[in-house]
Amino acid sequence: MADFIHRDPTHPEFWNERFRKDFTPWDKGDVPAALQEFVAQSARPLSTLIPGCGNGYEAAFLAQAEWPVVAIDFSAAAVQSARATIGAWGHHVQEADFFTYQPQMPLDLIYERAFFCALPPSRRPEITRRWADLLPAGGLLAGFIYLDDAPGADQKGPPFTVHPADWQALMAPYFELIAEAAVADSIPVFAGKECWQIWRRLANE
């Protein structure tokens, strides 16, 4: 394992260092099957934001499906890596902080993939509140949640797991769960604890 100077995942340099040293064990290297199925079943293209996009595979996939998509990451090294990885689709990737980013288009969907679990539990209320602020009533939050009900499991990360009851409590004020499914193509770091879920933004908080 590489030696790292930066230990705070809330700071861009934590992620810059790991991308520059090519240490990205969370990187699946392709587009998860659940997202591919979600896109195939969608009645229309959805205007999508991907926070913490990493190498941007999903951004390229959605762009090729002619979905309006912006992928953001606050790590300059991640953005550079994504643009190199997805080539012609790299213009969909921007360097930006999710907590202050202002979309230039109305959103239909926020796609979650290893962003929520990348930040420590103290940031969780801020993340869910920001999801809610960015989406209109009826908008969707869809993606992968890293769940574990073992005591203290959420303190070991990143990636940080979340207890199912805590996850439900965080989402319930803003969203309703409309679909979920087990994940068969998880990478080893997430295997057995990852769940695909789709949440719809409530009209009233």
| pLDDT, tens only, 168-189 | 999 999 999 999 999 999 988 8
What phi, psi does 81 have (nearest 5°)?
A: -65, -45
pLDDT tens-digit profile, the chain (205 residues): 467 666 778 888 888 888 888 887 777 788 999 999 999 999 999 999 999 998 999 999 999 999 999 999 999 999 999 999 999 999 999 999 999 999 999 999 999 999 999 999 999 999 999 999 999 999 999 999 999 887 666 667 688 999 999 999 999 999 999 999 999 999 888 889 999 999 999 997 5
Q: How many CA within 13 A on the CB side of residue 96?
A: 17
In DSSP terms, which residues pair with 147 in a beta bridge? 162
pLDDT digits (tens, 9 = 90+) for 117-147: 999 999 999 999 999 999 999 999 999 999 9
Distance of CA 39 to the CA centre of its chain: 16
Give the CATH superfamily of 32-201.
Answer: Vaccinia Virus protein VP39 (3.40.50.150)
Give me the long-range contacts of 12-16 (CB less than 8 A, separation at least 24): 12/74, 12/75, 12/76, 15/73, 15/74, 15/75, 15/77, 15/78, 16/75, 16/76, 16/77, 16/78
Instruction: Compute and round to an integer the Cα radius of gyration of the chain.
Output: 16
pLDDT score recorded for residue 143: 97
Please list, in sequence order, all residues whose beta carbon lies within 8 angstroms of the beta carbon of residue 65, skipping any fewer than 6 positions away: 39, 45
Cα dihedral 41/45/46/52 (nearest 10): 90
Read off the tokens for 4: 């790292």
pLDDT score recorded for residue 205: 59
Q: What are the domain boundaries of the chain? A: 32-201
Note the maximum CA span of the chain: 47
Cis peptide before 158 (omega within 30 of 0): yes
pLDDT score recorded for residue 9: 85
User: Residue 171: how many CB atoms within 10 A of its CB?
Assistant: 19
